[in-house]
């Protein structure tokens, strides 16, 4: 152990290590600069015809153009939503179209078993029939269960497949799914990967979330491909554009766009750096007794690693690590009100208890990971000893 580490592996007093960038990345400096500038200039309603409205409109249009360029889509395909969840709901439900859930041969949503709960809840809320496609032990959608042509997607109205899994990091074969669509529109929840990885191809609508790439929270991005049949699933807002609702937080949208541009420009180097940190965590944690590292070891997000520890309550482990100064997430819910294990881990056949997700970000250093790896075995052993 290093000299700055106590016997229990905690960091020096006051030094906390944030390892939950997959839940929310710290604000990128480029976002802060854009936000501060736009707060004073882009306060007006961008739909008003006066000068101040025009100034806000200009900022909004610049943000849209920058976002489109960074994502590799067209500006008129980009709509800013109020969160990633909002973008997911609008994207998925908009593809279902009018008359969804209207009895008889109603609509059918085919989705991977490991979609984010926002996708699953939206599909259920729509009243559509849903069909779940299973995943392999690494969490990757089983393409064998989605044969090409009518057999695989018989009667599907929309197919939903995430770009990468938010809990275990496994990248999904979106483009192979797209090859099997036979005209059925594909919705992609890209919240876990957008900014860090290029978008896959072959989808009709896609959702992303700015605070996952270092933009502010409260900005979602909905992308609807040109020529897609998309129908507003929510009450109309006649003040806004076709897919918009309400008054955008224009300064936050600009900050999100600035962060996205910066992250895309930096990602070759940054992904290599975070990937090395994750590989080190996977190697060390994988060598600890009775711990399973889950998710694909190679085809995965560069910044996420998830593991499950036998005989440990995941939430207790999160609290113990937090006490030591390390901030991680958990897919375990042993003591939560629902008592339902993570549907992602369950679908993979992975151990659902004792689960920890570590996600490294721009601010994570080699030293942070060293200290985490020094602290983890003791934390797990202390909890096991309480049994």
Partner 1 sequence: MLQLDCREMVCPAPIIELARHVRDVAVGDLIAVVASDAAARVDVPAWCRMTGHEYVGEDLAGDEVPRYVVRRVE
Taking a C-beta distance cutoff of 8 angstroms, is the pair 199, 148 a contact? no
Nearer to partner 1, 99 or 349 (CB): 349
Nearest to 126 by CA among 105, 104, 99: 99
Q: Which stretch binds partner 1 (CB under 8 A): 64-72, 88-96, 139-147, 310-318?
A: 310-318
Least distance (Å) between residue 143 CB and partner 1: 23
Among 113, 252, 264, 350, binds partner 1 (CB under 8 A): 350
6 binds partner 1 (CB under 8 A): no
Phi, psi values for residue 277, rounded to 5°: -65, -45
Instruction: Please say which residue, 223 or 312, places its beta carbon nearer to partner 1.
Output: 312
The pairing of beta strand 205-209 with beta strand 291-294: unpaired
Q: How far is the CB of 310 from partner 1 (least distance, A)?
A: 6
Min dist. Cβ of residue 342 to partner 1 (A): 9
Residue with Cβ nearer partner 1 (193 or 342): 342
Of 190, 161, 166, give the one whose Cα is nearest residue 176: 161
Sign of CA pseudo-dihedral 5, 384, 365, 216: negative
Instruction: Using the rule CB under 8 A, give the single segment among 3-11, 91-99, 171-179, 311-319 that binds partner 1.
Output: 311-319
Question: Within 318-347, which residues bind partner 1 (CB under 8 A)?
Answer: 332, 334-335, 339-341, 345-346
For partner 1, the binding residue among 133, 312, 375, 380 (CB under 8 A) is 312
Across 321-332, b (16+ Cβ under 10 Å) vs e yields beebbbebbbbb
The end-to-end CA distance of the chain, in Å, is 27
Hey, is 130 helix, strand or coil?
strand
Query: Is residue 286 near partner 1 by the rule CB under 8 A?
Result: no
Minimum distance from residue 119 beta carbon to partner 1 (Å): 21
User: In the bound complex, what is the minimum distance in angstroms from residue 384's beta carbon to partner 1?
Assistant: 9
Contact at 8 Å (CB) between 84 and 191? Answer: yes
Residues 6+ apart with CB under 8 A from 82: 218, 219, 220, 245, 246, 249
> Looking only at Cα atoms, what is the longest distance across the chain?
69
- Count Cα neighbours of 337 within 13 Å in the Cβ-side half-sphere: 0
Interaction of residue 352 with partner 1, rule CB under 8 A: yes
Query: In what side-by-side order are the strands of the sheet with 355-359?
Result: 291-294, 304-309, 355-359
Selected binder of partner 1 within 12, 36, 179, 290 (CB under 8 A): 290
Q: Which of 61, 101, 310, 381 binds partner 1 (CB under 8 A)?
A: 310
Could you say whether residue 354 binds partner 1 (CB under 8 A)? yes
Contact between 246 and partner 1 (CB under 8 A)? Answer: no
SS3 letters for 266-280? HHHHHHHHHHHHHHH
Could you say which of 287, 311, 363, 381 contacts partner 1 (CB under 8 A)? 311
Is residue 349 a contact residue for partner 1 (CB under 8 A)? yes
Q: Does 313 bind partner 1 (CB under 8 A)?
A: yes
Per DSSP, 11 falls in state P
| Choice between 306 and 308, CB closer to partner 1 | 308
Rounded to a whole number of angstroms, the minimum distance from the CB of residue 164 to partner 1 is 22
Helices marked H in 114-187: 117-125, 150-153, 174-179
Size of the site for partner 1 (CB under 8 A): 22
Site residues (vs partner 1, CB under 8 A): 290, 292, 308, 310-313, 332, 334-335, 339-341, 345-346, 349-354, 387
């Amino acid at each position: 152990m290093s000299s700055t580490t106590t016997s229990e592996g905690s960091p020096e007093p006051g030094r906390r290590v944030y390892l939950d960038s997959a839940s929310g990345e710290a604000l990128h400096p480029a976002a802060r600069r854009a936000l501060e500038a736009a707060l004073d200039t882009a306060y007006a309603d961008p739909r008003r015809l006066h000068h101040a409205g025009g100034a806000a409109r200009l900022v909004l249009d610049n943000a849209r153009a920058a976002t489109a360029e960074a994502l590799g889509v067209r500006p008129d395909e980009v709509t800013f939503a109020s969160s990633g969840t909002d973008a997911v709901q609008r994207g998925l439900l908009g593809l279902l179209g009018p008359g969804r859930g209207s009895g008889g041969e109603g609509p059918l949503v085919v989705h991977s078993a490991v979609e984010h709960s926002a996708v699953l809840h939206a599909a259920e809320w729509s009243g559509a029939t849903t069909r779940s496609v299973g995943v392999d032990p690494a969490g990757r959608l089983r393409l064998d269960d989605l044969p090409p042509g009518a057999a695989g997607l018989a009667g599907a109205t929309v197919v939903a497949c995430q770009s990468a899994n938010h809990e275990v990091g496994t990248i999904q074969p979106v483009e192979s799914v797209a090859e099997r669509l036979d005209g059925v529109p594909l919705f992609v929840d890209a919240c876990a990967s957008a900014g860090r990885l290029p978008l896959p191809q072959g989808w009709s609508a896609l959702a992303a979330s700015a605070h996952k790439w270092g933009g502010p929270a409260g900005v979602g991005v909905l992308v609807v491909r040109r020529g897609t049949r998309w129908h507003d699933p929510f009450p109309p807002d006649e003040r806004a554009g076709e897919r918009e609702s309400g008054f955008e937080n224009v300064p936050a949208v600009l900050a999100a766009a600035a962060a996205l541009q910066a992250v895309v420009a930096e990602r070759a180097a940054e992904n290599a750096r975070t990937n090395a940190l994750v590989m080190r965590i996977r190697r060390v944690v994988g060598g600890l007794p009775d711990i399973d590292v889950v998710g694909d070891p190679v085809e995965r997000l560069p910044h996420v690693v998830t593991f499950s520890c036998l005989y440990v309550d995941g939430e207790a482990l999160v609290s113990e690590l937090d006490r030591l100064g390390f901030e991680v997430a958990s897919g375990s819910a042993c003591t939560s009100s629902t008592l339902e294990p993570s549907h992602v881990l369950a679908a993979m056949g992975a151990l659902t208890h004792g689960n920890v997700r570590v996600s490294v970000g721009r601010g994570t250093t080699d030293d942070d990971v060293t200290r985490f790896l020094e602290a983890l075995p003791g934390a797990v052993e202390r909890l096991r000893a309480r049994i």
